Amino acid sequence: MGYILILLGAALLYFRRRNKFNRRNVAGVEEFKSFEHSVGSRVLEMGMKTVAYLLIILGLIFVFKNRAKSESISTKMEIQFSKK
């Protein structure tokens, strides 16, 4: 579950950056159809960026939680085997 969230966050960041790159002209200046389109795109991209970073952080939390959980289970099993 954690790895899927990390991949989704990375994909969102990739598409955001790709769209920003595709809007640039030869001189490297972003071109928009109108002022409203410019503002809307920037607001949407900021939201995408925020969601992407939240997904990555949640994914990392899930990965580390599962890793700690599996380590605690393996140590409990080792203790049980050593008692026998």
List all residues 6 or more positions away from 8 whose beta carbon is below 8 Å from its beta carbon.
Answer: 52, 55, 59
φ and ψ at 24, to 5 degrees? -80, 145
Per-residue model confidence as pLDDT tens for the chain (84 residues): 899 999 999 999 999 999 999 999 999 999 999 999 999 999 999 999 999 999 999 999 999 998 877 776 666 655 565 655
- Reduced to 3 states (helix: H, G, I; strand: E, B; else coil), residue 24 is strand
Complete DSSP assignment for 4-17: HHHHHHHHHHHHHH
Helices and strands (DSSP H and E) totals, the chain = 2, 0
Do 30 and 20 touch, CB atoms closer than 8 A? yes
Domain that holds residue 49: 2-83
Looking at the structure of the chain, the number of domains it has is 1
